[in-house]
Amino acid sequence: MSSIDLDYLSLHPDITCYRWPTPRLVEQAVKNNEGHLLHNLALAVRTGHTGRSPKDRFIVDDEMTHSSISWNDINQPISEAAFDGVFARVKQYFRAYSAYVEDVYAGADSRYRVPIRFIGTAAWQALFVRNMFVLPKSEKLEEFEPAWNIVAAPQMSVDEPTAHELGLRSNDFVLINFSKKLILIGGTGYAGEIKKSVFTVLNYLLPKRGILPMHSSVNVSNDDVVTVFFGLSGTGKTTLSMDPERRFLGDDEHGWSDDGVYNFEGGCYAKTIRLSAEDEPLIYAATERHGTTIENVAWNPLTRFIDYNDGDYTENGRASFSIDAIPNAIQSGQTGHPDCIIFLTADAFGVLPPVARLSPKQAAYHFSLGYTAKVAGTERGVKEPEPVFSALYGEPFFPRNHSEYIQLFMDKIRQHEVPVWLVNTGWTGGKFGVGKRIDIPVTRAIIRAIQSGELNDVKFERDKVFGFDVPSSCPGVPSRILDPASTWRDRGAYEIEQRALAEKFIERANSLDLPSEVARQNPQV
């Protein structure tokens, strides 16, 4: 907790609060009226924006990045001059505020981790950073030298004329400068912007070192069977990886190196809508502790008890907590190579089976598309299920050409002979509004059969449209639900929905620049 000189960034805050520990940050956040203590001593905050602002995120287009970034509507370019113009205003803003500074690592593997210094004007965001990243050992703090800096001012915004002049889309900004190794965040308090900006940086840097960055969760059995779960938000990636019977590595971001899998983070950022102690005991228990931050969740102002079933403010409520809140967590953040990979999708059309086995080429195809579905009520204007495709199961965070990541994925699953499975956590017996969502205990039984190898020994049937292999039985699972068509009252209606979804797959695949062997895995309609 010694002092720190921020002259190297030309930052001169009113007061600098350096490496404050969790209790002091909580106290300061309450004192600053940034949040409120709940009945369980977790810190509840409202972030203004309740999700990321992808249209406000830009990457500096300069000599380093010009030919190595896949520029598009997601990876939007901004000039060096515009970045410097925003930073000048940030530096002026900081002169009137206290700065909360935390030194952390992104990456549990010491050979590949990136030292990061966070400098922000909100104490609760400094607490979030302490929760989410890897804290240096106390004896190593004196040796810490940041490779990257994050400067965050959640209450600051750029006035409209200036924003327009600088090429910004709004008053808010999330700017990544790879040459200066600097991230600027302003106008938004949503802490996920911090987390995903760092993820984007790692996703740019690591492929050149032969590391596949993965938007995934990971758990490990007591006999060291490693399972990697890929999936978009709402598919169950966090819930299913936190199995009380297995050791937990991490819930969202990992790297696959020549030596195995390692966690990019030191904490978890779990969705809380309809969170229950019965279905998700480990996550629920982790929210019941001092130091956890609870974002945008309803709570009673008198009793300070949380209502996780109330999604009126947002369905994207979040809890951030250190990984040591999970009793069966692997504290080193490192493990061996995957023994199985599971792609999670929440198919709201009721078309995909609860589980299917993929060939390596099919695995690359599904990895390239990253399918799930939105359902009514999750976003404004969504009245019917909508297909969502996010390449690599996290398209907004992968700045290089997708082919680099796809090739790395194919090389690694072939080298290590890793089986890949598709597991549907969505609807059965009809689409959303007609059928019902597959029960979590059923999905857990399927995953345990995959992990134990029991599912390898059953009979499979080839799906005539999607081409993957569907098991005819699975231990602990009613056989009738494994064939999705048989769960529908009207088989003709099922076939209509199946064809419609298959055509969406084909349309999406045809819009991508896929390797020919991967493109040939399109559904047959």
Q: Among the options 57, 237, 246, 508, which is catalytic?
A: 237
Q: Among the options 47, 188, 227, 233, which is catalytic?
A: 233
Q: Has 52 been annotated as catalytic?
A: yes
Indicate the pLDDT class of residue 244, thresholds 50, 70 and 90.
confident
What is the per-residue pLDDT for 138?
A: 86
Query: Is pLDDT above 70 for 380?
Result: no
How many other C-beta atoms can be found within 10 angstroms of the C-beta atom of residue 76? 18
> How many residues would you count in the chain?
525
Q: Among the options 196, 254, 374, 412, which is catalytic?
A: 196
Residue found under tokens 């991490």: 250
What is the per-residue pLDDT for 127?
A: 98
Q: Among the options 197, 200, 238, 425, which is catalytic?
A: 238
Q: Has 233 been annotated as catalytic?
A: yes
**Cα–Cα distances in angstroms (integers) from residue 317 to residues 46, 47, 164, 173, 234, in the given order:** 10, 10, 31, 22, 12
> What is the C-alpha separation between 201 and 183, in angstroms, rounded?
9
Q: Has 254 been annotated as catalytic?
A: no
Q: Which two tokens stand for residue 236?
A: 């169950």
Indicate the pLDDT class of residue 2, thresholds 50, 70 and 90.
low
pLDDT digits (tens, 9 = 90+) for 277-299: 998 899 999 999 999 999 999 99
What is the per-residue pLDDT for 279?
A: 84
Q: Has 252 been annotated as catalytic?
A: yes
How far does CA 203 lie from the centroid of its chain? 13
Question: Mean pLDDT lowest for which of 29-38, 104-113, 140-149, 408-417?
Answer: 140-149
> What is the C-alpha separation between 22 and 478, in angstroms, rounded?
47
Q: Has 504 been annotated as catalytic?
A: no
SS3 content of the chain, % helix, strand, coil (to 5): 30, 25, 45
Q: Has 14 been annotated as catalytic?
A: no
Query: Is pLDDT above 90 for 384?
Result: no
Give the 3-state DSSP-derived string for 349-375, with helices as H, strands as E and coil as C. Answer: CCCCCCEEEECHHHHHHHHHHCEEEEC
pLDDT digits (tens, 9 = 90+) for 11-61: 999 999 999 999 999 999 999 999 999 999 999 999 999 999 999 999 999
pLDDT digits (tens, 9 = 90+) for 444-465: 999 999 999 999 999 999 999 9
DSSP conformation class of 381: T
Query: Is pLDDT above 50 for 105?
Result: yes
What is the per-residue pLDDT for 468?
A: 97
User: What percentage of the chain carries pLDDT values higher than 70?
Assistant: 98
Indicate the pLDDT class of residue 10, thresholds 50, 70 and 90.
very high
Query: Is pLDDT above 50 for 378?
Result: no
Report the pLDDT averaged over residues 50-78. 96
Average pLDDT in the chain: 94
**Cα–Cα distances in angstroms (integers) from residue 201 to residues 22, 95, 206, 263, 396, in the given order:** 26, 28, 9, 15, 12
Indicate the pTM of the whole model.
0.94
Q: Has 238 been annotated as catalytic?
A: yes
* φ, ψ of residue 118 in degrees (nearest 5): -100, 130
Query: Is pLDDT above 80 for 377?
Result: no
How many other C-beta atoms can be found within 10 angstroms of the C-beta atom of residue 361? 15
Q: Among the options 56, 243, 252, 463, which is catalytic?
A: 252
Contact by Cβ (8 Å): 523, 462:
no
Report the pLDDT averaged over residues 172-176. 97
Report the pLDDT averaged over residues 115-141. 96
Q: Is residue 394 exposed (0-12), middle (13-18) or buried (19+ Cβ within 10 Å)? A: buried
pLDDT digits (tens, 9 = 90+) for 316-327: 999 999 999 999
Query: Is pLDDT above 90 for 216?
Result: yes
Indicate the pLDDT class of residue 238, thresholds 50, 70 and 90.
confident
Indicate the pLDDT class of residue 383, thresholds 50, 70 and 90.
low
pLDDT digits (tens, 9 = 90+) for 394-431: 999 999 999 999 999 999 999 999 999 999 999 999 99
Q: Which domains does the chain have, with CATH numbers?
A: 7-32+52-209 (3.40.449.10), 270-325 (2.170.8.10), 339-519 (3.90.228.20)
* φ, ψ of residue 475 in degrees (nearest 5): -55, 130
Q: Is residue 7 exposed (0-12), middle (13-18) or buried (19+ Cβ within 10 Å)? A: exposed
Q: Has 374 been annotated as catalytic?
A: no
> What residues have CB less than 8 Å from 309, skipping those under 6 apart?
273, 274
> What is the C-alpha separation between 53 and 75, in angstroms, rounded?
13
Report the pLDDT averaged over residues 68-95. 96
> What is the C-alpha separation between 185 and 192, in angstroms, rounded?
11
Query: Is pLDDT above 70 for 1?
Result: no
Q: Which of 331, 4, 330 is nearest to 135 (CA)?
A: 331
Query: Is pLDDT above 80 for 253?
Result: yes
